[in-house]
Amino acid sequence: MIKIGIYGYGNLGRGVECAIRQNEDMTLVGVFTRRAPETVHTIFPDTPVYHVDEAATMTDAIDVMILCGGSATDLPTQTPALAKLFNVVDSFDTHAKIPEHFEAVDKAARAAGTLAAISVGWDPGLFSLNRLYAAAVLPDGQDYTFWGKGVSQGHSDAIRRIEGVLDAKQYTVPIEAALDAVRSSKNPALSVREKHLRDCYVVAAEGADKARIEAEIKNMPNYFAVYDTTVTFISQEELDRDHKGIPHGGFVIRSGKTGKDGENTHIIEYSLKLDSNPEFTASVIIAYARAVARMAAEGQSGCKTVLDIPPAYLSAKSGAELRKILL
């Protein structure tokens, strides 16, 4: 049994708590929280809850610690710190800062003889893998990543900060015409506006100036101004009833040419349609936690990403079984 710890307990931590139960070769040692443990209500009542200060005393009890904090402030310090004690997996997703995060975690893990996997999830993660495979197979080509339809927490938060807004949810929506243009191998040059639109559902305070709110949303630099944005005002009841999920997904499409004179075209398309972004991310993390446990048991150490890990390590099945049933 692979013994798992969950470090940080929000949506992602809850997803990991559920995902572990789908994998018979894993067991959950407990959740580690900065809050008072007795105030934390886990999904399953028998899940032990510890204060983060106890983690350092439990290195022998845990094979892989899964870090479920945020990329902005938690993971840049937590992952290197925890890698000194445990094999770790995180879902660090600030793309531009991945190289420096990798270096910091790699240094800590090498010094401690532990193994770490960072930026595990679907983007970065499964989407990165698909970009890599597709580019390696079709070097004379171009790839496109689309996101959605799905909830962007950052954009939803940005709307909530506007005066007169009580609550909001923003969906990123890929534009079908752009997807079709990419699939038709036209290698289109697509502007930001042509790839995605932003669909906003807003609860306004009573008496608030809706026209002003709508204008503030649509003109917000970076977040909305460069996109076509729709704003729909609804009641809190409607928001709670119709927009309570955290769906997401997207597409990685590469089109490329082969042949003597590039006369043949090929399309590789990978897509995800996810009811729950955090639960799916948790499921990816759990598969990579298995790989980390195995590779660590073989004596490997340092930092890895999904690009470095042999696929077979993700499965509980043996190599011979995989060759027989999957290949």
Binding site for a copy of itself (CB under 8 A): 15, 18-19, 22-23, 43-44, 95, 98-99, 102, 119, 124, 126, 128-133, 135-140, 183, 258-260, 264-276, 279-280, 282-284, 287, 290, 305-312, 314-315, 319-320, 322-324, 326-327
Smallest distance, a copy of itself to C-beta of residue 312, A? 4
Smallest distance, a copy of itself to C-beta of residue 117, A? 12
* Buried b or exposed e, range 51-62, using 16+ CB within 10 angstroms: ebeebeebeeeb
**Token pair of 310, please?**
């042999």
Smallest distance, a copy of itself to C-beta of residue 230, A? 25
Please name the residue that has the structure tokens 């240094």.
107
**Token pair of 65, please?**
């610690």
Smallest distance, a copy of itself to C-beta of residue 64, A? 15
Smallest distance, a copy of itself to C-beta of residue 207, A? 38
Smallest distance, a copy of itself to C-beta of residue 247, A? 9
Looking at beta carbons only, is 159 or 287 nearer to a copy of itself?
Answer: 287
**Token pair of 141, please?**
């080509």
Looking at beta carbons only, is 205 or 326 nearer to a copy of itself?
Answer: 326
Smallest distance, a copy of itself to C-beta of residue 9, A? 15
Looking at beta carbons only, is 129 or 173 nearer to a copy of itself?
Answer: 129
Are the C-beta atoms of residues 31 and 9 closer than 8 Å to each other? yes
Are the C-beta atoms of residues 190 and 142 closer than 8 Å to each other? no
Task: Find, among 69, 45, 50, 70, the residue nearest to 61 by Cα.
Answer: 50
Please name the residue that has the structure tokens 């989407």.
127
Looking at beta carbons only, is 27 or 264 nearer to a copy of itself?
Answer: 264
Looking at beta carbons only, is 226 or 267 nearer to a copy of itself?
Answer: 267
> What is the rounded distance in angstroms from the CA atom of residue 203 to the CA atom of residue 233?
6
Looking at beta carbons only, is 229 or 283 nearer to a copy of itself?
Answer: 283
> What is the rounded distance in angstroms from the CA atom of residue 66 to the CA atom of residue 43?
17
> What is the rounded distance in angstroms from the CA atom of residue 178 to the CA atom of residue 257?
20
Total length of the chain? 327
Looking at beta carbons only, is 200 or 282 nearer to a copy of itself?
Answer: 282
Looking at beta carbons only, is 23 or 230 nearer to a copy of itself?
Answer: 23
> What is the rounded distance in angstroms from the CA atom of residue 204 to the CA atom of residue 291?
47
Task: Find, among 307, 303, 310, the residue nearest to 102 by Cα.
Answer: 303
Dihedrals φ, ψ of 229, to 5°? Answer: -125, 135
Smallest distance, a copy of itself to C-beta of residue 193, A? 24
